[in-house]
Amino acid sequence: MLSIGPNELLIIAVIAIFVVGPKRLPEILKGIAKLYVTFTRAIEEFKSELKEEIDVDDEIGNIKETVEKIADHTDPRKAIQKKWENLIEDEEKEKKDQERPQ
């Protein structure tokens, strides 16, 4: 970030007095201050809009996850596939149990 110390400010002020003149310097400083305030407000507005967009994107992601969960629970093909996989696993466990000497 740009950091200006007191020595630099003094040099800038002296140069400004020579370039602009002591009579117009207050007017120019007021103009610069207004420009700075306008610029700062624009940056803050941009930051807040960006934050709102990020929040909206997060919310959309949450909604998508919820819809996918609901779809997983209501899709009969997935339910049948899960049951089938469970049956196969159970059958494999039974075979292993029967093959194991007791």
Q: How many CB atoms lie within 10 A of CB 25?
A: 14
User: Could you state, in order of their start, the residue ranges of all structural domains in the chain?
Assistant: 12-99
Which residues of the chain have a pLDDT value below 70?
Answer: 1-2, 101-102
Residues 6+ apart with CB under 8 A from 17: 25
- Please tell me the predicted confidence (pLDDT) of residue 70: 80
- Please tell me the predicted confidence (pLDDT) of residue 102: 60
Q: Tell me which amino acid residue 64 is.
A: K
- Please tell me the predicted confidence (pLDDT) of residue 2: 65
